[in-house]
Structure 1
Amino acid sequence: MSERRRPIAKKSPSAYHHGHLREALIAAALRLIGSGEDVNLREAARLVGVSPGAPFRHFRDKAALLAAVAEETMRRFRREVGGALDAAPATPAARIHAMAMAYLRFALGESAYFRAFARAGELGFFDSDFYKKENQETLDSLDRLILEGQQRGEVASGDLRIVHLASRAFVYGLGRMYVEGHFARMGLGEEDPLAVAQQALSVFEQGLLRASPSRPRGPSSRAPRDTSP
């Protein structure tokens, strides 16, 4: 039997200042995303504490609300990454590390936005030209740093696509594990989550295995043959 979701509490009309309804509706949409609920204007209005028609002053439909969430999510992410790169040394390795830490700060510090970020495809974020452009610029920056790092011997050699995949998968996985409660279940809940993530990232960057993993060879690596009649 699946776990029942707790209902999301409605905010009173005094929870936002008039003139900030748009921002309040975006925040409501994030609450719905974070709880796994469907995002719609009527429910967002209920959470904010306004009439069902009030959201239409700012958003013509659900897609417009989600586009606004997408753009705000990407702005926050790019601001975190941009600040980290501005402060990082010029070497590819240092800048890739800075990007990774920026991603983790975003995932752990902006968990509502990270949940939306993680569901970008499902939520239709890639329908936003702004989101697609800003996202692609981040990915292109990582590719350039990997290639330059490989040329300078600072990054592991290999297919750019695979190195890129490994880099993103690790920080994305750490972010998901945090927001889904794995840190706490592993006994790390009392520690600074960013410090925990940074230590795990250090293991990844230095290389997990101290010896080459053995590879199965010969017939033993294949499934046993069925000799029954």
Structure 2
Amino acid sequence: MPPTKDRYHHGALREELLRASLQLIDTEGLAAVSLRRVAREAGVSPGAPYHHFPDRAALLAALSTRGYEILREELLAARAADPDPRAVLTGMAEAYVRFAVANPSYFRLMFRPELIRSDKVHEPGDAGDAAFAVLETALADAIRAGVLPAADAETLALAWWALAHGLASLEIDGKLGKRAAEMGTTAKELGNRIITMFAALIDRTGGEPT
């Protein structure tokens, strides 16, 4: 095997390690990930990962951060896709679910308790805040447009997140699809119907709690 320095330049090695880690999670689960195993999958020396990640937690944190960055881009694209602030919020919820379905390993990793609560790992939290800020900006647009009341902005943001995250979790775990099949529809169609109902409920109540 050629030496690491001959096979990858500095940036490419980090990307290859992240790719190998994600593939391991996809195929064998999170427990399979270790720096030694990732090095073997990437075809580099056992010490190579330590040039980028001091330990397994740092590797997983970097992967989680990447997931949040991808999610943020998906939310930004949904926000830019429609000038109607009400439709934007619906589109962003749908984009959140699509992201989870397309990237289940990222999605599950991003919300691991040890990464969220660790005082030693800040990057995923920062990236998560950046993704959530896209929603906050969309809500601010809706408030300025008179669609939502300013007094309930934080509550509505959490309600939106709870809805989108719950649907995403149910879908990637197969529970939404099972219930959808019983109802004669698809998981995607059922999820979109629920999101639309949620948006209509906000319209009827003016955003005020009932």
TM-score normalised to the size of structure 1?
0.66
Q: Distance in 1 between matches of 2:166 and 2:40?
A: 33
- Count of aligned pairs: 190
Specify which of 153, 166, 170 is matched with residue 160 of structure 1. 153
User: What is the Cα deviation at residue 51 of structure 1?
Assistant: 4.7
> Secondary structure in 2 aligned to 1:186?
helix
Query: Could you give the per-residue CA deviations for residues 86-131 of structure 1, whole angstroms, max 9, x where no partner exists?
Result: 2221x32122223212212211111221112232x42258756554
Pairing 1:127-138 to 2, within 5 Å after superposition: 131-138=124-131
Match of 1:59 among 53, 64, 68: 53
Contact 1:108 1:175 in 2 (8 A): yes
Partner of 2:3: none
SS of aligned partner of 2:181? coil
Contact kept, 8 Å, 2:177 with 2:186, in 1: the verdict is no
3-state secondary structure, aligned to 2:31: coil
1:23 and 2:49 aligned:
no
Answer yes or no: is the 8 Å Cα contact 1:70–1:128 preserved in 2: no
CA shift, 1:69, in A, is 0.6
Find the aligned partners of 1:95 and 1:76 in 2 and give their Cα distance.
18
Cα deviation, 1:119-148, whole Å, max 9, x if unaligned, reads 2x4225875655444432332342343344
Q: In 1, are the aligned partners of 2:116 and 2:124 still within 8 Å (CA)?
A: no
The unaligned stretches of length 5 or more in structure 1 are 1-17, 211-229
Q: Determine what percentage of the aligned residue pairs are the same residue.
A: 31
Residue of structure 1 in register with 2:191 after alignment: 197
* Structure 2: unaligned runs, 5 residues or longer: 1-6, 205-210
Cα distance in 1 between the residues matched to 2:127 and 2:45: 34
1:68 to 39, 49, 62: 62
Partner of 1:87: 81
| Matching of residues 152-191 of structure 1 within 5 Å | 152-155=145-148, 159-188=152-181
Superposed counterparts of 1:95-110, under 5 Å: 95-110=88-103
Matched letter for residue 105 of structure 2: A
Of Structure 1 and Structure 2, the greater helix share is in 2
TM-score by length of 2: 0.71
Structure 1 residues 202, 113: closer, same or farther in 2, change over 3 A?
Answer: same
What is the root-mean-square deviation in Å for CA atoms of aligned residues? 3.4
